[in-house]
């Protein structure tokens, strides 16, 4: 059996462990600001506590995020992801109206145009449609993906060690103070 299922745009096994990537339309570096990163973290936590999301690794970069996650029995990962992206998109749209946000005008134009061009949206699109789900089958590939996630900020030059990046599960695994509790693999 392959350690990684062929890439697809859709989640096939709703309760299988997946590597997911959520990317901001136009690769806009919106998460360079704390207020947006905190919104992302708070809503991941909400999904863990209330929507049946099991989260094993994550990182929030400036314009995308990666997760290793699955849905608890009786839940569907695709529905959790859909609701998460829909809610965070609406909340970010509200935050963009803050007069303190110096980039708001051009970001609102970009996200509005993206929404108009996409028949699945009415007037605003924050996240790219595809989550790039990769179903994970082996411990080796799971470890590879978690290492990839944790080393993303190191490769980007933000920190020297994965656990130094606050918006990552690397801190949890290193036994340090963390922003978001992670589920343990059994």
Distance between CA atoms of 29 and 17, rounded to whole angstroms? Answer: 28
Q: Residue 35 corresponds to which tokens in the numbers above?
A: 């207020």
Domain contains 103: no
Distance between CA atoms of 183 and 185, rounded to whole angstroms? Answer: 7
Domain contains 80: yes
Is 93 a residue whose pLDDT tops 70?
yes
Instruction: pLDDT band for 116, please (50, 70, 90 cuts).
Output: confident
Domain contains 163: yes
What pLDDT does 127 receive? 94
What pLDDT does 2 receive? 41
Q: Decide: 140 and 1 in contact? Cβ < 8 Å.
A: no
Domain contains 113: no
Domain contains 182: no
Mean pLDDT of 31-57: 97
Higher pLDDT, 159 or 186: 159
Q: Pairing between strand 18-23 and 64-71? A: antiparallel
Distance between CA atoms of 110 and 113, rounded to whole angstroms? Answer: 5
Please state the length of the chain: 186
pLDDT in tens, 137-167: 999 999 999 999 999 999 999 999 999 999 9
Structurally, the chain folds into a number of domains equal to: 1
- For tokens 């529905």, the residue is 79
Domain contains 156: yes
Domain contains 102: no
**CATH code for the domain of 41:** 3.30.70.1290
Q: For the chain, what is the mean pLDDT?
A: 90
């Amino acid at each position: 059996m392959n350690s990684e299922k062929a890439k697809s745009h859709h989640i096939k096994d709703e309760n299988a462990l997946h590597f997911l990537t959520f990317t901001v339309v136009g690769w806009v570096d919106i998460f360079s600001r704390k207020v947006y990163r905190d919104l992302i973290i708070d809503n991941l936590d909400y999904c863990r506590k209330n929507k049946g999301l099991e989260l094993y690794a994550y990182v929030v970069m400036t314009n995308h995020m990666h997760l290793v996650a699955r849905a608890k029995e009786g839940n569907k990962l695709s529905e959790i992801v859909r609701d998460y992206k829909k809610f965070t998109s609406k909340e970010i749209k509200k935050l963009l109206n803050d007069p303190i946000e110096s980039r708001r005008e051009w970001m609102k134009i970009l996200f509005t145009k993206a929404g108009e061009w996409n028949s699945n949206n009415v007037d605003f699109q924050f996240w790219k449609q595809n989550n790039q789900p990769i179903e994970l089958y082996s411990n080796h590939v799971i470890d590879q993906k978690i290492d990839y996630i944790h080393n993303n900020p190191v490769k980007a030059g933000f920190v020297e060690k994965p656990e130094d990046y606050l918006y990552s599960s690397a801190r949890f695994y290193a036994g340090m103070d963390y922003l978001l509790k992670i589920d343990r693999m059994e």
